[in-house]
Structure 1
Amino acid sequence: MSKKTSNLGTKPVIGLFFGMAAPIAVGMMVHGLYNVVDAIFVTRVIGVDAMGGISIVFPIQMFIFALATLVGSGMASIVARQLGAKQDDKANTTIDMAFRLGLSLAIVITVGIYLNINSLLHFLGVSDALWPYAYDYLMPLVLLSFPIVLVSSIPSDLLRAEGKAMLMMIGMVSSAVLNIILDAVFIFVLEMGVEGVAYATILSQIFAAMVMLYFILGGKTQLKLRPFAYKMDWPILKDITVLGIPILISHAGVSLFIGLTNYSVTQFSEVNSDLYVSAYGLIGRLMIFFILPAIAMTISFQTIAGYNYGAKHYDRVLETIKVGVTASLCYGLGVSAIMLFIPHQIIGIFTQDQALLATTAGIAFWSFLLFPLSNAHSVISSLFQALGKARQAIFLSSLRIYLLLIPALLILPKIYGIEGIWYSFPLADAIAFAVVVYFVFRERSNLIGLNLASKAHAQADQTNQTQKLA
């Protein structure tokens, strides 16, 4: 086992947590800048309708990302525990099974969406004004980006399962810089509009995948990616899928909710629905950018907890919970402060259109009001995936979106009008956080019991060894 990987079970938890989360967060935020830059270029150069066009198809991109995280996160959860238990050969088999699953999904999803793209756009409620932008942006992504995303999740999550956060950061940062450069070239030089934005994204994703593969094939990792090198292992494939389902549910729920929100906005004839779609699209870009450090915390939290649970270091799992909860809440408070007190300054980076600016700021208040609780819920609920407890993980991943947000979205607008859409955000955040706190306290009691039993067993072994020596 490499020294870097074994550090997961030996280094102080707080330093390990931030040492892993910080470079991933930096990498992801730089990588996430391409979403922000896309929005700035599209809104300021091409127009508000163009922003609405790429925003209204964003749920499809989120769904593909959700499928990719099902494969990668499910694999990483298993691999982290296998590394903790020193089962390297089983871990390599798990990686191979994950690759096969990702490749199969890439083929099925790409063909399926390509053959039904017009029906899909109609289903999303794309207006005549937004249709050309939505179609031109989506088609290149379907044919090229989506297969890359589904397959490249394997090398990326292999690096994070081994705790090699710096290598992940290098891949993300370099591809993000390339994306920003290509955005400028395709929009300003080649004048390709939203189609150019799509091709900039595709080329940067290809580059990122190549960087990740370079690290793995170049011997920078303990484990290896050897496609089709192992005998088909259906139980492992099932485990990857089952443990990936919680994250799929969570991300697919975001996709569903964004799509349903956009559709709900279009049902209010008394407002400019295309304006609201564009405004909510900007909020979505900002939300994703601010969520990226939370995802980095989740990756760090899950990797450390999973490794130490596999190694039976239950005291370190308990310490990881404490650090993860505190860090996620503090970060969330910082984000809320920015978006509640200076929203116009932040949104003004994207647009100077006064109608769009005012509409976006109004939505931002409700979206970020209880962001600290939403952020903590996402990080803490990943504990159960890390411990291999799929049932609890699935429930907690489903809770905020499916059991709270979507019902609220269907009910509150009928009472409060279009404002009811935005009221659903803080309501769901508060209830979901209360529930996850209950679950994590219950699991904490279980871990305390396991820790005491483990210490008693170790003490008994030491006593036996002493008696034998005597």
Structure 2
Amino acid sequence: MTNNQAQTIAYATDTIGKLFLQTAVPIVIIMMVNGLYNVVDAWFLGIYVGAEALAAVTLMFPFQMIIIALSMTVSSGMSSILARALGAKDRQKAEVSFTLAHLISTIISTLTILLFTLWGADLVISMANGDALIENQSYSYMKILVWACPLMFYLTLHNDALRAEGYVKIMTLISLAGTALNILFNYILIVQMDLGVEGSAYGTVGAQALSFIVLLIFRHQQKKSLGLCSLTHTELSPIIKSIFGLGIPSGLNFLGVGLVTIIVIYALQIWPPADYSTTISAYGILTRVTTFTFLPLMGFAMATQTLVGHNFGAGHYSRSRDILMAAIKIAFIYCVSIEALFFLFAADIGRLFVDDPKVINDVTRLIPYMIIMFFSFGPMMIIAYYFQAIGSIAKAAILNLGRTYLFVIPLLFILPIYYGETGVWSARPVAEIGMWLLTLWVLKSGKRHKLVQDASDG
């Protein structure tokens, strides 16, 4: 019996608690460590370079989110197909999807480099708001990451494929080692070699390159793992549509994060705080810290998607719904705990990264706006990933995209008109209330409470 076959049987027979321990815990650890890197990187920049370096990297956060959104669109759509194909023992479809995802990633990453080369400098100038130092640091940082983005695309693709194939342990080891190398490289390049924001970018690229090399070596040694195949005798159009149809909700979710950040940055230029660069630095710190808390939740949702996808693909519909209900409870407990920690230690978070009292005060001021509704975020994310796992494209799209595109972005244009800068920060918690209403509407529409049957809607 191959590793894939054994894992497929385990997905369908092991207890739900055991499955979460075996599948979710490694992914959550990976995401936590990845989030920890972002926090440590911000600490290196804030302590050893200065608050302006944090501001420069924060201004480039939207560009990073756009690149991540593009890669996640391909990898997330592919992983959903792989989970169901492997659950149904259709290896040919799995390998065709895997190969197509590589081709799509190559095309998109090449176009990304071209677009940034043509217009990246102008965008950086407009976002720096006249600060030449921040402008130069921002462009130097992002240029390195953009030219290396094909590497990030392939690494994301293979990590999601390993998860779907059941190679969770090796995926965990490679990801943890890559993040540890990233932190080490950043220490050497930022602290020891004084390369500033460029050191941060080079550290990221170097760690990704080594991780990808190790991953390719593993695939070469594991003859039963997925490989690239010929596409000449296969009908590709339905698979391409499925990759984008299932992946676009997740990709647009990350794109939405980037768009929201862009709108916030420009809104702060129109309705300025007391000190623009100070508030941008504080916003950057909180973005790193909240991302650290968000990524484990996303990892848990991804694991839930894998478990549901395999069981749904094998026809175990009731078990798929049981997994959903357990995941919602776990996500809620996690989110409530994180929110409590933020409020208990609000005054200490800024001090971890900078010694500038103005930045520290701004961090404390912004925390309530950014975290007050976090308790509701987790359960709604789980529900969205569930619908994606069973192939219900319409419902997955509504729940993945509704928060950003139906609520946050419109509110960012409306609330500041009446409340100024306060309206900028109030958009997020108000949007979360709207998402609760939208989620309830989605769950009550169609076949009430028989969620696994909603796949027919996709």
TM-score after normalising by structure 2:
0.93
1:429 corresponds, among 421, 428, 432, to 432
Q: Is 1:120 aligned with 2:123?
A: yes
- 1:302 aligned to 301, 305, 308, which one? 305
Alpha-carbon distance, 1:251 to partner: 0.8
Does 2:141 match 1:137? yes
Contact kept, 8 Å, 2:95 with 2:229, in 1: the verdict is no
**Matching of residues 162-241 of structure 1 within 5 Å:** 162-219=165-222, 222-226=224-228, 228=230, 231=233, 233-241=236-244
Corresponding residue number in structure 1 for 2:349? 346
Letter of the 1:343 partner, please give it.
A
Indicate the residue corresponding to 1:461 in structure 2.
none
> Could you tell me which of 40, 43, 62 is aligned with 1:40?
43
Post-superposition offset of 1:261: 0.8
Counterpart for residue 455 of structure 1: none
Aligned CA distance change for structure 1 residues 151 and 230 (closer, same or farther; 3 Å): farther
Secondary structure (helix, strand or coil) at the match of 1:224 reads: coil
Q: Verify the 8 A CA contact 1:14 1:320 in the aligned structure 2.
A: no
C-alpha distance in structure 2 between counterparts of 1:190 and 1:228, whole Å = 46
Which residue in 2 is equivalent to 1:79?
82
Q: CA separation in 2, counterparts of 1:369 and 1:320?
A: 27
Query: What are the Cα deviations for residues 438-469 of structure 1, in whole angstroms up to 9, with x where unaligned?
Result: 42455663347799xxxxxxxxxxxxxxxxxx
Q: 2:104 aligns with which of 101, 104, 108?
A: 101
CA contact (8 A) 1:318 1:444 kept: no
d(CA) in 2 for partners of 1:137, 1:449: 47
- The whole-number CA distance in structure 1 between the counterparts of 2:121 and 2:202 is 20
Q: How many residues align?
A: 449
Q: Contact 2:271–2:416 (CA<8 Å) still a contact in 1? A: no
1:373–1:426: structure 2 CA closer, same or farther, 3 Å change rule? same
Q: 1:58 to 1:9 in 2, by over 3 A?
A: same
Aligned position for 1:445: 449
1:5 Cα deviation (Å)? 3.0
CA RMSD of aligned residues (A): 1.9
Structure 2 counterparts to residues 58-77 of structure 1, below 5 A: 58-77=61-80
2:362 maps to what in 1? Answer: 359
Q: Distance in 2 between matches of 1:157 and 1:381?
A: 18
* Structure 2 Cα separation of the partners of residues 153 and 265 of structure 1: 33
Shift of 1:143: 1.0
Question: Any conservation in 1 of the 2:38–2:288 contact (CA below 8 Å)?
Answer: yes
Of the candidates 25, 29, 49, which is equivalent to residue 22 of structure 1?
25
State the Cα deviation string for residues 68-94 of structure 1 (Å, max 9, x = none). Answer: 111111001011111111111211111
- In terms of Rg, which structure is larger? 1
- 1:158-195, Cα deviation, whole Å (9 max, x unpaired): 11112332222111110111111111111122211111
1:268 matched to 2:232: no
Rounded Cα–Cα distance in structure 2 between residues aligned with 1:323 and 1:435: 22
Aligned counterparts, 1:268-287, within 5 A: 268-269=271-272, 271-287=274-290
- Assess, with a 3 A threshold, how the Cα gap between structure 1 residues 330 and 437 changes in structure 2: closer, same or farther: farther
Mark the runs of 5 or more structure 1 residues left unpaired by the alignment.
452-470
Residues 54-63 or 23-32, more deviating: 23-32
**What code does the residue aligned with 1:188 have?**
V
Paired AA for residue 159 in structure 2: S
Q: What code does the residue aligned with 1:417 have?
A: G
| Residues 282 and 350, structure 2, Cα contact 8 Å, conserved in 1 | no
Aligned to 2:53: 50
